[in-house]
């Protein structure tokens, strides 16, 4: 999975609006493209009950994502708007950071307007509509997570004057993309990068290889991550309320400065203060090295 926060600022491509949005042009998707969505949807939705967070499973339901084919945003947005005031907007691909933050701050989630091909079933460089809509949008139907994403966008806009993008990107990575949550039934997935990946949905919960650590804001913002393979670390929140509360009620400006004076934390390190949920063997990463 490609990191979102690595892009140089460019102007929108021809045909895109100043905010980089394009029309979904839903009628232009081919039968093969809809069939690819259905294939990915069937594989994930069979596996995720008991693995994905309650809020994610509720989102699938509330948004009626089980309807076959790539979702038509005219229908999806009516349901999403009713749930939390969010909208999905189509973009050609990754957008610049300031544009991305501005969309989030205004309750718009930008989704790549293309779908992977059969040879990219399990790996692709840029987020496609399956990752963006199946992975991210169900959580946006949850009021608490929806507010977290708005706050994140606002915080992102504010961070641009602090040279703090890397720290904020790590927070996004370890929550929105690769977050785990502790529920009554055990650990569950809420991160879009996991729920949209068949293999990582198994690995993140079942493998003995990765570390699973209790979420700590300042620590997460210093922790490096990998974009080329399964994560070596997952951070576990106790509830979506905890995540929203800590991020909204922390002034990030002093945190950015304090963290900038400290070295980044290497990917698989465990620190004395970590709340260790599972200490990983790291055998998966070692075998690949």
251 binds ligand PHE (CB under 6 A): yes
285 binds Fe ion (CB under 5 A): no
Partner from ligand PHE, Fe ion, none contacting 235, C-beta within 5 to 8 A by type: none
2 is in an annotated binding site: no
Q: Count how many Cα atoms sit within 13 Å of the Cα of residue 90 in the half-sphere of its side chain.
A: 18
CA atoms of 281 and 276, how far apart (whole Å): 13
154 is in an annotated binding site: no
Give yes or no for a contact between 138 and 59, defined as CB atoms under 8 angstroms apart: yes
User: Could you tell me the CA-to-CA distances from 9 to 2, 89, 94, 99, 165 in Å, in that order?
Assistant: 17, 20, 11, 9, 13
252 binds ligand PHE (CB under 6 A): yes
Q: Which is nearer to Fe ion, 137 or 236 (CB)?
A: 137
Can you tell me which of 41, 100, 152, 178 binds ligand PHE, judged by CB under 6 A? 152
177 is in an annotated binding site: yes
Can you tell me which of 36, 90, 141, 192 binds Fe ion, judged by CB under 5 A? 192
- Nearest-CA neighbor of 190 among 178, 172, 198, 202? 178
x-or-dash string of contact with Fe ion, 90-119, rule CB under 5 A: ------------------------------
Can you tell me which of 248, 267, 277, 282 binds ligand PHE, judged by CB under 6 A? 248
Give yes or no for a contact between 37 and 130, defined as CB atoms under 8 angstroms apart: yes
Q: Which is nearer to ligand PHE, 152 or 178 (CB)?
A: 152
By Cβ distance, which residue is nearest to Fe ion? Answer: 192
Report residue 10 as tokens: 């460019």
140 binds Fe ion (CB under 5 A): no
Partner from Fe ion, ligand PHE, none contacting 227, C-beta within 5 to 8 A by type: none
Q: Min. distance of Cβ 63 from ligand PHE in angstroms?
A: 23
145 binds ligand PHE (CB under 6 A): no
Q: Which stretch binds Fe ion (CB under 5 A): 13-21, 41-49, 188-196, 218-226?
A: 188-196
CA end-to-end distance (rounded Å), the chain: 18
Question: What residues form the annotated binding site for Fe cation?
Answer: 131, 136, 177
Q: Residues interacting with ligand PHE, by CB under 6 A? A: 151-152, 155, 158, 171, 247-248, 250-252
């Amino acid at each position: 999975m490609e990191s979102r926060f690595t892009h140089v600022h460019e102007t929108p491509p021809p045909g895109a609006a100043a905010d980089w949005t394009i029309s979904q042009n839903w009628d232009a998707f081919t039968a093969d493209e809809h069939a690819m969505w259905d294939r990915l949807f069937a594989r994930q939705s069979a596996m995720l009950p008991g693995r994905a967070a309650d809020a994610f499973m509720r989102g699938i339901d509330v948004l009626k994502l089980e309807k076959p084919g790539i979702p038509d945003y005219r229908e999806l947005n009516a349901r999403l708007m009713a749930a939390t005031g969010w909208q999905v907007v189509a973009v050609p691909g990754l957008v610049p950071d300031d544009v991305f933050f501005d969309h989030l701050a205004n309750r718009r989630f930008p989704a790549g307007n293309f779908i992977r091909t059969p040879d990219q079933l399990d790996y692709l460089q840029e987020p496609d509509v399956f990752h963006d809509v199946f992975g991210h949008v169900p959580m946006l139907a949850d009021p608490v997570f929806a507010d977290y994403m708005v706050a994140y966008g606002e915080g992102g806009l504010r961070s641009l004057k602090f040279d703090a993008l890397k720290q904020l990107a790590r927070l996004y990575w370890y929550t929105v993309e690769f977050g785990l949550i502790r529920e009554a039934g055990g650990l569950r997935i809420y991160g879009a990068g996991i729920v949209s990946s068949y293999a990582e949905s198994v690995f993140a919960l079942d493998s003995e290889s990765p570390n699973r650590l209790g979420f700590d804001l300042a620590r997460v913002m210093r922790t490096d991550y990998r974009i080329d393979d399964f994560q070596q670390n997952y951070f576990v929140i106790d509830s979506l309320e905890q995540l929203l509360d800590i991020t909204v009620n922390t002034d990030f400006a002093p945190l950015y400065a304090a963290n900038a004076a400290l070295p980044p934390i290497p990917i698989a390190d465990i620190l004395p203060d970590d709340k260790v949920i599972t200490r990983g063997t790291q055998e998966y990463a070692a075998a690949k090295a």
